[in-house]
Amino acid sequence: MTTATDEGDSLPTTTDLRFLREAIALSAASKDRGRHPFAALVVDRDGQVISRRGNNSMPPEGDPTQHAELTAAAAAARSRPAEDLADATLYTSAEPCAMCTGAVYWTGIGRIVYGLSEKRLATLTGADPENPTMDLPCREVAARGQRRIEIIGPLLEDEAAEPHSGFWRS
């Protein structure tokens, strides 16, 4: 049984905060391109970015399964062996949904560091049909697996919320 780190168990490093801010900046760039304001990157143990992705799940040309976290994890899995990903971190502007947490699990990425919590995101998106939120914390999803995923977040929520300002039809 996996044990996802409880809130407060691990403290973020300055490196964590730097890459989380990069994910938040990428989420703003996604918004500027007319996409949903989410983004993620996967970083190896040496601090090298393996993959960066903005969200591409928005109609009409977007695929609703193409969340930034899922596509960043998939790209990392295509470029690195599983043993390398065990020490990698997925940095994401918002708490990964159940699908994206599953992608992190299946690709073997060992850590998640996220900005905006799902609960805070729901207050920003309201009932917008383009983002029907799921009140299922990533820690609960990760706790159901056999592999341990360290999870740190929410962090920098005010900064992570900024790209969502004025975007959603609440």
Kindly report the CATH number assigned to the domain that includes residue 117. 3.40.140.10
Q: What is the pLDDT along the chain (170 residues), one digit of tens a residue?
A: 333 444 446 899 999 999 999 999 999 999 998 889 999 999 999 999 999 999 887 666 778 888 999 999 999 999 999 999 999 999 999 999 999 999 999 999 999 999 999 999 999 998 888 888 888 999 999 999 999 999 999 999 999 999 999 999 85
Whether 118 is covered by a domain: the verdict is yes
- Domain count for the chain, please give it: 1
- The whole-model pTM stands at 0.92
Which residue, 5, 39, 34, 36, is CA-closest to 19?
39
Sheet holding 39-43, edge to edge: 49-54, 39-43, 89-94, 111-116, 150-152
Whether 13 is covered by a domain: the verdict is no
Whether 26 is covered by a domain: the verdict is no
What is the reported pLDDT for 29? 96
Please write the tens of the pLDDT for every residue from 60-93: 677 888 899 999 999 999 999 999 999 999 999 9
Instruction: Give the residue numbers spanning the domain of 103.
Output: 37-164
Whether 153 is covered by a domain: the verdict is yes
- What is the torsional sign of CA 157, 132, 152, 91? negative
Whether 24 is covered by a domain: the verdict is no
Whether 2 is covered by a domain: the verdict is no
Whether 8 is covered by a domain: the verdict is no
Instruction: Look up tokens 């691990």; give the residue.
Output: 10
Catalytic residues: 69
Give the CA angle between residues 31, 59, 123 to the nearest 5°: 55
What is the reported pLDDT for 6? 47
